[in-house]
């Protein structure tokens, strides 16, 4: 089966998105979902969305990119982690 | 370990300040005076905070993690401010502002380290009990001890 592409974006593509990326990788591994993560800056989202199943951002985005979007904030704040995890699994298993 | 980047002289408790920009400028100034950051640091932090806010609501308390890119930093340090009264920061992921009482200002000179610090900070701020104790701490030493204990140093 082909890996599912997840785009994770934050302001600098260095910090918060990497923290979120690691947590999503762990989650998917645990649930047997094979993913490939593409880590970008918010400004680079558009050019990296081809074939993406899911977009996760740590900052707010105003635009609808036509790809299911989840805010990765729960992975930073610890609030609502379970709900975010379930949503991610649901989107990726569809 | 976050512990390594902390410095007693960069931890402020019961800080009385009414506004975000003033707070950030003061903290950045302190780092600059000690030679840890360049004079461009403060503007870089303020600009970034405006463009990509760093406020995080972790349950009972608002936390902010302002920072700049590495080029404005000479020596990696983290300044901590615990305010007597919260000031308002924009949330990282939303338009709303939240009252923030604990600020971790990250001045990190290397990208790799920045990530590591952030991961460790995320662990720290997600621990409600630790955050509660940080807010109640009476001095910088207590905060150092709380973080040290959390990291089992």
Written as tens digits, the pLDDT of chain B (153 aa) is: 677 889 999 999 999 999 999 999 999 999 999 999 999 999 999 999 998 899 999 988 999 999 988 899 999 999 999 999 999 999 988 789 999 999 999 998 987 788 888 888 999 999 999 999 999 999 999 999 999 998 886
The verdict on a CB contact (< 8 Å) between A59 and B125 is: no
The DSSP H or E segment spanning B14 is strand B11-15
* B153 lies within 8 A of chain A by CB: no
Smallest Cα–Cα separation from A61: which of A50, A52, A71?
A71
Residues of B in contact with A58 (CB under 8 A): 92-93
Active site residues of A: 10
Asked whether the CA dihedral B5, B35, B11, B124 is positive or negative, the reply is: negative
CA distance A23 to B91: 21
Asked if B59 reaches chain A (Cβ–Cβ under 8 Å), the answer is yes
Facing A14 at nearest CB: one of B53, B59, B111: B111
Q: Which residues are CB-neighbours of A24 under 8 A, at least 6 positions away? A: A6, A8, A35, A37, A56, A72, A75, A88
Tens of pLDDT, residue by residue over A65-88, are 999 999 998 998 999 999 999 999
ipTM of the complex: 0.75
> How far is the C-alpha of A60 from the C-alpha of B113, rounded, in Å?
25
Q: Are strands B62-64 and B55-57 parallel, antiparallel or unpaired?
A: antiparallel
Query: Of A16, A71, A78, which is closest to B126 when you measure between CB atoms?
Result: A78
Is B119 at the interface with chain A, CB within 8 A?
yes
Q: Cβ contact (<8 Å) for B93 and A12?
A: no
Determine contact, residues B81/B27, Cβ cutoff 8 Å: yes
Predicted TM-score (pTM) of this structure: 0.88
């Amino acid at each position: 089966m082909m890996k599912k592409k997840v785009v994770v974006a934050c302001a600098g593509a260095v910090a918060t998105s990497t923290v979120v990326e690691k947590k999503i990788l762990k989650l998917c591994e645990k649930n047997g979902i094979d993913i490939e993560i593409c880590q970008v800056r918010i400004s680079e989202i558009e050019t990296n969305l081809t074939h993406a199943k899911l977009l996760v951002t740590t900052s707010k985005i105003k635009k609808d990119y036509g790809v299911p979007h989840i805010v990765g904030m729960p992975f930073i704040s610890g609030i609502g982690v379970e709900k975010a995890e379930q949503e991610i699994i649901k989107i990726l298993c569809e | 370990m976050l512990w390594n980047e902390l410095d007693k002289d960069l931890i402020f408790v019961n800080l009385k300040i009414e506004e975000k920009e003033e707070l950030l400028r003061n903290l950045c100034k302190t780092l600059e005076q000690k030679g840890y950051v360049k004079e461009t640091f403060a503007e870089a932090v303020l600009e970034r905070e405006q463009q990509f806010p760093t406020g995080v609501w972790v349950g009972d308390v608002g936390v902010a993690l302002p920072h700049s890119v590495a080029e404005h930093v000479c020596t990696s340090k983290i300044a901590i401010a615990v305010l007597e009264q919260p000031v308002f920061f924009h949330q990282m992921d939303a338009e709303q502002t939240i009252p923030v009482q604990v600020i971790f200002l990250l001045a990190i000179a290397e990208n790799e380290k920045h990530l590591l610090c952030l991961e460790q900070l995320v662990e720290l701020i997600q621990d409600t009990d630790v955050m509660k104790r940080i807010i109640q701490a009476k001095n910088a030493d207590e905060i150092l001890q709380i973080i040290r204990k959390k990291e089992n140093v």
